[in-house]
């Protein structure tokens, strides 16, 4: 039961911890306001998905997650090339990483709901 509660509270705990870390070390100011909390939170959510899926189901869903994220990168690359006829590395990486955060958060929430149901 403790694992399930920890799994549900893990994103909130890491978000609050990152807010304090960003404020204490002034990371936004050091990176010229380019680094944001969701950019770092994505890494912690990926770690949480791996640990909790391995703990609950005895297999890791990390390979499937990497497959989804790779498909997202290929789709974004093709859309970039078809619509804009050029590839901008910075814009691609920024869009891909922000969409990765959204997909990671959705997968984490679905995994948490499946555990409680």
Q: How far is CA 102 from CA 17, 64, 72, in A?
A: 20, 16, 12
pLDDT tens digits, one per residue of 84-95? 888 899 999 999
pTM given for the model:
0.89
Consecutive H or E run containing 75: helix 62-84
Section 12-39 average pLDDT? 90
Tell me the per-residue pLDDT of 29-58, one tens digit each, with 9 for 90 and over.
Answer: 888 888 889 999 999 999 999 998 898 888
Mark out the alpha helices in 27-117 (DSSP H runs).
Answer: 27-30, 37-57, 62-84, 89-116
> For residues 55 and 36, is the Cβ–Cβ distance under 8 A?
no
Pairwise CA distance, residues 80 & 44, whole Å? 28
| Per-residue pLDDT at 56 | 81
- Predicted confidence band at 100 (pLDDT cuts at 50, 70, 90)? very high
């Amino acid at each position: 039961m403790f694992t399930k509660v920890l799994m549900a509270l893990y994103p909130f705990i890491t978000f609050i911890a990152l807010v304090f870390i960003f404020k204490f070390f002034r990371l936004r100011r050091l990176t010229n306001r380019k680094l944001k909390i969701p950019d770092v939170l994505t890494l912690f959510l990926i770690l949480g998905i791996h640990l909790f899926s391995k703990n609950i189901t005895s297999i890791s869903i990390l390979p499937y997650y990497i497959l989804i994220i790779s498909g997202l990168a290929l789709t974004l690359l093709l859309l970039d090339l078809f619509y804009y006829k050029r590839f901008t590395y910075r814009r691609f990486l920024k869009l891909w990483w922000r969409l990765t955060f959204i997909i990671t958060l959705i997968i984490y929430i679905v995994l948490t709901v499946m555990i409680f149901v």
